[in-house]
Structure 1
Amino acid sequence: MALAGSDPYLWIKHCGGSNRMKVFLSHQHGDKPVVEPIAIALKDKLGEANVFYDSWSIKPGEGIIDRMNEGMTAPDFVFFFVSENSLARGCYGLGGVSDSSGIG
């Protein structure tokens, strides 16, 4: 389902805004200023436990890759943020995500 119009949370309304939905946000660290407001809005609607976002889903000392793998076990939606910033860094391309992606 594509996000459309002036309501970027249309999909939440379409799904009934169920707090059982799980969302995984994938982004390059430099894109946090754009991604974080979306993450917070989703957290407000769905609850923190249902939105995987590195700032609150990965605690100091935890393995980043392990936590990301756990977060990806059964999300209903994955938001994969691709920007000029991430493309310029070589994080994403036609071949997928590089090992040095800096994805959160």
Structure 2
Amino acid sequence: MRLFPVPMDLTEEEKVIGGVLSLRQVVYLFGGGVAAVLSVSFLRLLHVPWAIAFPVGILWFIAGGVLSFAAAAGMGADEYLFRWFSWRFRRRRYDWGDEL
């Protein structure tokens, strides 16, 4: 019979990186950092001044931090945004009764 490792706490994500960050959080932080560096580099290639390019990069990094650490309505911000977009852009059926 095979034995599989089961996490001790099943109510939240397993903290893989140093016991502090989950893999999802690391991916969002890394993605925000990469997006920040790429956006600043691209804007500097277009000769946009540092006064504009640097705050744009900071916004990308903040977005990664919000997606990895913020919570809304008892769930992570990434799951909340996914559910909100799914609700917002779903197909709707309007039943007007016998009028049509």
TM bin, normalised by shorter chain, reads under 0.3
- More helix per residue: 2
- More strand per residue: 1
Q: With a CA cutoff of 8 Å and minimum separation of 6, indicate the structure with the bigger relative contact order.
A: 1
